[in-house]
Amino acid sequence: MNNSGILYVVATPIGNLSDLGERARVIMSEADLVLCEDTRQTTRLLQASGITAKTRSFHEHNENKLLGWVLQRLSDGQNIVLVSDAGTPLISDPGFPLVREARNRGLRVSPVPGPNAAIAALSVSGIPCHRFCFEGFLPSQAKRRQNALRALRKESRTLVFYESSHRVEECLKDMVDVLGPDRSVMVGREITKIHETFFLGSLDQALHFTRSDENQRKGEFVLVVGGNPNVDLEWQRACELFDRLCPLLPSSEVSRIVSETFSVNRKRLYRRMIEQKKG
Ligand code: SAM
């Protein structure tokens, strides 16, 4: 462990190459090896940034095969960088088996944080971002996508999705159908690139905007969807009823009545009651 090298997980730009941080540049220049999702893509970045480094392809189709080889090099003391084509590795990108196995073996793993499309979009969305769920890509098959959205219908936190140009319109259509036309959404397209566009409005308006202009279906997308505003309201009402009934009935009875009246979780009500008693 002491003489082992470090696996650096390095974030790279999601569009604008100037977003490569100075620490990322130095670590990549000094590393023994840079593992890339696509060596051509990363070589372009390295050349543009004046970095010479030894690269090797490491992607979802060969990562399990190369795992032992990479771990041995780390154990031998080499410093190895993991990058993906763009953004932060592992976030809808390869690398998870390597990081998990390096951790299991007690090897050092260190991040070089930087660009990430989801966080970039959230940070400019104007939609609450103090609590959010990152959902990555929805299933490509329509039925499975609609089911995945159905499972998220009651989520009160902001939802963040990745989407490609092939499916952005279909995906917005399914969101309108399953989550309702009025939910707020920010469609972030080509973030940090020449054609960067942000559209903020309701799901219905976003679908119309995307449909009516072919250019708005080109490039890469992040969809930031507001959480279900009614869920918090329902919880609030449930708590009010709970507090009114508590002095009158046993708490198990109150939990049952309230959870049947509103669709709120009985255990959650019970936890709240315990916390109130403690507090
Ligand atoms: N690991 C990356 C990250 O940290 O953001 C994400 C990789 S994932 C394979 C690629 C998806 O991220 C794209 O299909 C798109 O949904 C989103 N994305 C990446 N770059 C983007 C950009 N510049 N603008 C909008 N979305 C982007």
The pair of three-digit structure tokens given for residue 140, joined into one six-digit string:
């490509």
Give 277's pLDDT tier (boundaries 50, 70, 90). Answer: confident
162 lines ligand 1 (CB under 6 A): yes
Strands 6-10 and 80-82: parallel
pTM value is: 0.87
Q: Does domain 6-115 have CATH number 3.40.1010.10?
A: yes
- State the Cα–Cα distance between residues 166 and 161, nearest whole angstrom: 14
pLDDT of residue 201: 97
Q: Average pLDDT in the 249-276 region? A: 88
pLDDT digits (tens, 9 = 90+) for 109-142: 999 999 999 999 999 999 999 999 999 999 999 9
pLDDT digits (tens, 9 = 90+) for 59-92: 999 999 999 999 999 999 999 999 999 999 999 9
Closest approach atom of ligand 1 to CA 115: 4
Taking residue 6's Cβ as centre, other Cβ atoms within 10 Å add up to 17
**Residue 176 or 274, more confident:** 176
10 lines ligand 1 (CB under 6 A): no
CB 36 within 8 A of CB 19: no
pLDDT digits (tens, 9 = 90+) for 177-231: 999 999 999 999 999 999 999 999 999 999 999 999 999 999 999 999 999 988 8
Instruction: Please identify which residue in the block is written with the tokens 């090797």.
Output: 56
**Which of 182, 181, 119, 174 lies closest to 151, judged by CA?**
174
pLDDT at 279 over 80: no
- What is 118-225's CATH number? 3.30.950.10
- State the Cα–Cα distance between residues 224 and 187, nearest whole angstrom: 6
CB 173 within 8 A of CB 149: no
Average pLDDT, the chain: 95
86 lines ligand 1 (CB under 6 A): yes
Q: Where are the domains of the chain?
A: 6-115, 118-225, 231-278
235 lines ligand 1 (CB under 6 A): no
Q: How far apart are the CA of 14 and the centre of ligand 1, in A?
A: 7
Give 276's pLDDT tier (boundaries 50, 70, 90). Answer: confident
pLDDT at 2 over 80: no
Query: 16-20, long-range: CB within 8 Å, 24+ apart, which pairs?
Result: 16/192, 16/193, 17/45, 17/48, 17/49, 19/114, 19/115, 19/192, 20/45, 20/49, 20/114
- DSSP assignment of 243-262: HHHTTTS-HHHHHHHHHHHS
pLDDT digits (tens, 9 = 90+) for 93-103: 999 999 999 99
Q: How far apart are the CA of 52 and the centre of ligand 1, in A?
A: 25
